[in-house]
Structure 1
Amino acid sequence: MQTKRVPFTYTRRGFFYFSRRIPNDLLDHYDTDRIVEGLKTKSASVAKVRSLIAAAKLEEYWHQLRVANPNLPGVHRLKVVGGSHSMTTVQAVRDDLGPKLSHSLDVYFRHKGQDKSKVFFNVSRRACGYLIDVAGDKELGLYTRADALAFRDGLRKKGLVGSSVGRLLNCLTAVFNFNVHELDLKFQNPFSGVFLDKKAGTKKRQAITIPQIHKIQAACRQEDDDIRWLVSLISDTGMRLAEAAGLLCDDFDLSGGIPVVHVRPHPWRTLKTDSSKRTIPLVGQSLWAAERIVAMTKPGDFAFPRYNKGDVTNSNSASASINKWLRPFISPDCSLHSFRHSMRDRLRAVECPADIVDQIGGWTTSGIGQAYGSGYPIAVLEKWLKEAVRPQ
């Protein structure tokens, strides 16, 4: 059925199809008199954008008569004229387009996925999946700036905040750039430089105040159960919730001169970044929590078995239950994750050097020199943590 509100299209079973008759003076270049391509959408607004883009590309091609345009719609319908030379020309156009996005992602993972966490793979797959939903799975050279803008705007309509949209855009940019450079493709990355307000929809996470921390810690000692041990452990180490919830009893070492917890990757709980792998001295409330955990669990067991009943640590369940319990103690803009913000502020308050703060919290420290050596000794970290958690 022809559609008037969406130019150059008709619908079939609810889906829109782009349809454009080839001008009479150009019929010799094709083996058909009309180009028809599925727009892979039932949305009139999306179909309108895609049909106008396709029409503009064809007009540009027809105006310039340049077969090698990598963004040419209908290139698969070009007729072979004069034998192998024309076939080579058409193949060159296809080669210049690069592989389809799904295959490009596989190439990207094969070369860049060594020693990467599940987060790397999941976010990259999610980004490419969103793009395929918006513009289809096509050769890289066929994606346009309009596709990039539709991708960005679609994510905002889904309710994703600016920082999350930016993370997905960065993933797509990385996939495109790697394949363009690796395969020596001759087109620009349409996702490079896309404008994005990364603060859109975001709220600044507030730190939990020192008096609030002390009230929470007192309540934890009074209730003295595994949930409160988890809160206590996080409160004076600044660990991420998933890092703490996925610990084993064996990750605690209380037998040496300085009691510590080893934050390391496990099959059921990976780490966010390479710098997240670290050893943290246990002081204050975190030491109390560690002693309770080691006393109540067996070697080799999970420190928090209620959040590790499946193949993956269920940090979402932990977050929901703990944040509900914390609500009376903290301001509305705070959550369990705010303990990480508080720890950074507490270390700043005692004038702890920034690179020591980063090592304690598992934050990535910029600078080439930071990659050298093994970091600060545990005794140095313990000194600053004791200063930070000391009652004021």
Structure 2
Amino acid sequence: MSTNLPTRHTTLRSGHLYYNRRVPSHAQRAFGPQLRIRIKDQAEAERLTRRLNDLWAEEHVTLPIDLQALLAATAPKPTTLTTIAAEYVEVRGIQENPTISSALMLAELSGDIAIQNYSRQDARNFTQTLLERGMRSTSVRRRLNCLSAIFNYAYAEYEVAGRNPFARVLIAREGADKVRRLPFLPSELPALYDACMVSEKRLRWAVPVLGETGCRIAEVIGLRRADVAKDASHMAICPHTARRLKTSGSARDLPLVGPAREAMRLLLATCEGEFLFPEYLREGEILATHAGNTLNKWLKRQSGGKTAHCLRHTFRDRLRAVECPLELLDALGGWSSVQGAGRRYGSGYSLEQKREWLLRISLARI
């Protein structure tokens, strides 16, 4: 049976466009004798006609179709870089940066265009420009990896044909400019924590929490009062509308011991409202980068150039020194584990098990 009919099935009534079409006899069991649905424009009618032609070309049509869902399925999807980058972040449930900032950098250099129109030359130009701006090769690689992930997502979800132009991009002398991030010495921490606790600046009280839990800056700056036990004995690192997490594996419960608990008590006692650091909340979003820049500026003066992220390196070294099991170590820091699928079985480590190991590296023992 031929169903290759021209698109002439629209009528305009009271300013609204409708799609009207008689259903072939062999498909009336599923669709009824006549179709009538409100549509947006003629282009939508064209797409609906093509899909119905395909459906009705089959000899036996017995399953009913949700026409609204069919319209949604045939609608053209936005494919510009920044739109897909935002969608990718939303679907993955990860924090926006560096993914969004990488997409904006590329859009600045090559334009915010349909993702299938980018080429390998755009990737080369992106790489060379960032290097010329003084960005280290490790940072450039991180940006390239973000863009490659966006393109992989777009190629899969939007059925884009071709090769990912940001996959396996070569960087000249990659790693030669790497600067090793030195951790703090455990013996340096007591004086650093004391300097933080006597300060009147609340942001500095976050330092003992960072140092004794291994958290990332955004994880602590984005804490809500509801995420912390009333007695400051433990806290939950979890995503919320004002702050995403770096990865899904970053969500975790952590005990607070020693200086971390003392600092958290101060933060709870002095904060007003829902968030522990409301001064870094703007338009419903936690500005963790702003907080990190401010804190790192002070930390560098105190420690000869070390930053808050160095505390995270120190935390892992301290746990290594007491021979903490690798799986537990990763669970404490929210690091990705390489131990296989078995680690995901069960409920994981309890707060008391985690507390036991954190007490082993408590400053009271140093």
Please report the TM-score for the alignment, with normalisation by the length of structure 2.
0.68
Shift of 1:216: 0.9
- Which of 198, 220, 234 is residue 222 of structure 1 equivalent to? 198
Shift of 1:312: 2.2
Could you tell me whether the CA contact under 8 Å between 2:221 and 2:286 is conserved in 1?
yes
Q: 1:381 to 1:133 in 2, by over 3 A?
A: same
Q: 1:305 to 1:177 in 2, by over 3 A?
A: closer
Aligned position for 1:174: 149
Structure 2 unaligned blocks of 5 or more: 1-75
Aligned position for 1:191: 166
Aligned-pair identity (%): 32
Counterpart amino acid of residue 335 in structure 2: W
CA distance in 1, matches of 2:287, 2:81: 32
Aligned position for 1:268: 242
Q: 1:286 to 1:345 in 2, by over 3 A?
A: same
Counterpart amino acid of residue 284 in structure 1: G
Aligned position for 1:207: 183
Could you tell me whether the CA contact under 8 Å between 1:263 and 1:276 is conserved in 2?
yes
Could you tell me whether the CA contact under 8 Å between 1:249 and 1:293 is conserved in 2?
no
- Which of 139, 143, 148 is residue 164 of structure 1 equivalent to? 139
- Which of 243, 252, 256 is residue 282 of structure 1 equivalent to? 256
- Which of 355, 358, 364 is residue 327 of structure 2 equivalent to? 355
After superposition, give the CA deviation of every residue in 1:272-311 in whole Å (9 maximum; x if it has no partner): 111221111011100111222233345x532223333553
Could you tell me whether the CA contact under 8 Å between 2:110 and 2:122 is conserved in 1?
yes
Aligned position for 1:155: 130
Q: Does 1:322 align with 2:299?
A: no
Could you tell me whether the CA contact under 8 Å between 1:260 and 1:280 is conserved in 2?
yes
Could you tell me whether the CA contact under 8 Å between 1:140 and 1:176 is conserved in 2?
yes
CA distance in 2, matches of 1:348, 1:231: 21
Aligned position for 2:315: 343
Could you tell me whether the CA contact under 8 Å between 2:78 and 2:84 is conserved in 1?
no
Alignment of 1:284-303 (within 5 A): 284-297=258-271, 300-303=273-276
Could you tell me whether the CA contact under 8 Å between 1:162 and 1:198 is conserved in 2?
yes
Could you tell me whether the CA contact under 8 Å between 1:268 and 1:313 is conserved in 2?
yes
Instruction: Give me the CA root mean square deviation.
Output: 3.1
Could you tell me whether the CA contact under 8 Å between 1:235 and 1:285 is conserved in 2?
no
Q: 1:376 to 1:301 in 2, by over 3 A?
A: same
Structure 1 unaligned blocks of 5 or more: 1-98
After superposition, give the CA deviation of every residue in 1:73-122 in whole Å (9 maximum; x if it has no partner): xxxxxxxxxxxxxxxxxxxxxxxxxx999446646765784252242xx5
CA distance in 1, matches of 2:198, 2:101: 43
SS at match of 1:280: strand
Counterpart amino acid of residue 288 in structure 1: E
Please report the TM-score for the alignment, with normalisation by the length of structure 1.
0.64
CA distance in 1, matches of 2:130, 2:260: 39
CA distance in 1, matches of 2:311, 2:299: 11
Q: 1:132 to 1:329 in 2, by over 3 A?
A: closer
After superposition, give the CA deviation of every residue in 1:110-155 in whole Å (9 maximum; x if it has no partner): 5784252242xx5444444444444455665654433322221122
CA distance in 2, matches of 1:117, 1:248: 18
CA distance in 2, matches of 1:225, 1:142: 49
CA distance in 2, matches of 1:201, 1:351: 32
